[in-house]
Amino acid sequence: MARISIASGLTFALVLANALALGTGRHLLDDGAAPTPLDWRKAGYKTDKPVIGILTQRCHDCPGYSYVAAGFVKWIEAAGARAIPIRYYSSEAELKRLFNAVNGIIMPGGLTDLWMDSPYVIAARKLWTWAREANDAGDVFPIHGTCLGFQLLHILESNVSFTELLVDTDSVAHASTLEFTDAAADSVMFGGMSADLVKKLGDPSQNIALENHMFGLPPKHYDDYPVLGETFSMLSTAVDRNGVEYVSTAEHKKYPFFATQWHPEKPPFEFGMTEVPHTLEAILVAQHLANVFVDTARKSSHAFESPEEELEELIYNYKQYFTLKDSLFDGGYDGETVCMLIG
């Protein structure tokens, strides 16, 4: 049997979901007309039980062949979704089967190669292409990219190698701030966030955005590679310990694709890194972005062929490992010390 490990710890519930409700006033399972690619925000709900696929990454010095971090699973569960693993080494037919079944995809942070011809990028490109095609057809399908996933979404959009697109940054285990652009106020990701939380995300006395990366995307590359400026709204920037500026949050202008170079999933659920902020404000920010992503996934009409197939794919089918305690593998530059391991 394939193996997955999930860090044990406190059982979580929906974190302050009522306080952070999106306030759309819409009803579940709205049978409104199919949206055009440019008005997915107005689409009605198609499900109240979304399933999110999380793209696995290769394991290093750990049981199993690939893994997903437990924080991402818990992050979307806290917003009312469930998770399944999508193995990066699956056949195209298997990738397509799972794409047709899930209501959104997370491209997570982690440690893996981003070469154009790597199996991981090839698999991600297929899923990304199908997501674009689905949205173009009026079939709402969101993607959230975090850290490595943020970089991956920009690589796929620009078709430029990470060696050209990214620069070195000193941002491993770096609790920091976000410098918002004018576009943030009208964005899906931050438009519904309270003014107090927006202010605290930019407050250096709070430092509630956890950066944890070795590479970053310079803002000027939105001009150097015009396709990026044409397709993404730059919502915020940040600076590393040496003052190097990079894009920290982006949102696609046409599709429900969201990207954070920082880690909203860590504050509520990861405690192995002392730099991770665990204040109420950090938790509220994490919950808000989870709600935004999962709420968008509720607009997807994708579904498994049967309830039995859905149950078979859910991540709960796999053995759990408490990797923080057992030290089954070393964290890479993305610091994933709490994880699920998938055989």
CA 258 to chain centre: 7
In which residue are the tokens 């954070």 written?
260
**β-strand 66-68 against 340-342: which pairing, if any?**
antiparallel
- CA atoms of 26 and 44, how far apart (whole Å): 7
**CA-CA-CA-CA torsion for 262, 265, 269, 275, nearest 10 degrees?**
10
In the chain, what is the greatest distance between 2 CA atoms, to the nearest angstrom?
A: 53
Q: What share of the chain is helix, strand, coil (3-state, %, to 5)?
A: 35, 20, 45
What does the block give as tokens for 86? 């999508």
Among the listed residues 37, 11, 22, the one whose alpha carbon sits nearest the alpha carbon of residue 294: 22
HSE-up (13 A, CA, CB side) for residue 75:
30
Among the listed residues 258, 239, 30, the one whose alpha carbon sits nearest the alpha carbon of residue 141: 258
Backbone angles phi, psi at 277, to 5 degrees: -75, 140
59, 62, 144, 147: which is the annotated catalytic residue? 147
For residue 315, give the DSSP letter: G
- CA atoms of 174 and 161, how far apart (whole Å): 25
Check if 147 is active-site: yes
Q: Which amino acid is at 327?
A: S
144, 174, 221, 263: which is the annotated catalytic residue? 263
- CA atoms of 334 and 320, how far apart (whole Å): 21
Asked if 289 and 189 touch (Cβ cutoff 8 Å), the reply is yes
- CA atoms of 100 and 92, how far apart (whole Å): 12
Which residues are designated catalytic? 147, 263
